[in-house]
Structure 1
Amino acid sequence: MVDIEELVPERVGGFCGILAPFIAYGLISISILVNPDFSFASSALSELGATDVAYNNIFNFGLIFSGLLFIIFLVGMFRLTESQVGLVGLSGIIVGAICLILVGVFPMGTDPHWLLALLFYSFSIGGMIIFGLDQFLEFEHVWGVLVWSNLAFALIAISLVAVLEPGGVAIYEVIGSIPIMQFGIVFGTRLFAE
């Protein structure tokens, strides 16, 4: 029987973790450029992939492809933990990545879209909280602090934006995705260097 972490070589997993955020943000940026009606002040990112929007496939493909890359990365990450806590955390983030793929498969204008988007953020952030706890329990305090401080930054930033200038949902979506993307880049680099 093959251990799950052996399915993905370290360097491949690390590369996928580094690449996924650039694919996601790159294709989201292209989607914004080709959709002049989009506004961070009044839109949701999901509007870029809505069923009635021209070029929605750019946005949706970005979510699907980056979600697949993130799953490959996370399977490679299993080698960085031996505890059940870490495995639960990483599994939660994998469920979040699956939900991200499904957000691209079921774009805005389809029934499950909003639920899947909510589940993406919930499972990803919940999994990161649990994985951060694992890093503390495994005496990898620097990594635990990094994960939790990124999440705290996002929470504070979202709170400030909501109080000072409540605008479109897109602002909150981008801020909320930053810790997830930083997780991919930082731990992808760590995995790549192992």
Structure 2
Amino acid sequence: MRKSQLYSGFLGPLVAFVGIWTAAYINRSWWRITENAISDLGRVGLPNNWVLNISLITTAVLIIYYAIGLFALLRNGVEKAGVVIFVLGLVFLALIGLFPEGTSPHYYVSWAFFITAGFGFLIAGVGA
């Protein structure tokens, strides 16, 4: 694994958390974690919706780059299958940023992200 892939694996989640936190802070006048979905922060027509959407896309790209390096290190076929499924989930994460709340594909790509990313983690963990 390249050093840049290791950095990417560290930066990806950091970009996600900072992006979500920043979007929540910008919209603190109306957004509440107990009352709203995170997707509400990136919805169509919302000023500064790009803060969330760009951070989701960037996170997906960074973690996919990391996962490519991780995949090369794995020897177990079950772990590799889990990583491949997780990468598919990350593609859906990027699509959430490309199709924010208020677009017709948003509901489907959101569900696809949660299902595939979750199963990818589960399968990779079972293979470990």
TM-score scaled by length of structure 2: 0.95
Of 53, 60, 66 in structure 2, the residue corresponding to residue 73 of structure 1 is: 66
Q: 1:116 aligns with which of 109, 116, 120?
A: 109
Displacement of 1:32 after TM fit?
0.8
Unaligned regions of 5+ residues in structure 2, if any?
Answer: none
Instruction: Name the structure 2 match of 1:145.
Output: none
Q: Is residue 2:15 matched to residue 1:19? A: no
1:122-181: CA deviation from partner (whole Å, max 9, x where unpaired) = 11110111111211xxxxxxxxxxxxxxxxxxxxxxxxxxxxxxxxxxxxxxxxxxxxxx
Q: Which residue of 2 aligns with 1:30?
A: 22
Q: CA separation in 2, counterparts of 1:114 and 1:17?
A: 27
Q: Distance in 2 between matches of 1:121 and 1:10?
A: 28
Paired residues for 1:127-146 under 5 Å: 127-135=120-128
Pick aligned residue for 1:104 from 70, 82, 97:
97
Aligned residues with identical type, % of pairs: 28
- The C-alpha deviation readout for 1:70-95, integer Å capped at 9, x for no partner, is 10010011123123212210000000
Per-residue CA distance 1:9-62 (angstroms, 9 max, x = gap): 432211111111110110111111111211112100000000021100010000
SS at match of 2:102: coil
Give the CA RMSD over aligned residues.
1.0
Aligned partners of 1:20 and 1:86: how far apart in 2?
20
Write the distance in 1 (CA, Å) between the matches of 2:26 and 2:122. 36
Match of 1:185 in 2: none
Greater percentage in helix? 1
Please say which structure displays the higher CA radius of gyration. Answer: 1
> How many aligned residue pairs are there?
127
How many Å separate the matches in 2 of 1:80 and 1:130? 17
**4+ aligned runs moved over 2 Å, structure 1:** none
Tell me, which stretches of 5 or more residues in structure 1 are unaligned?
1-8, 136-194
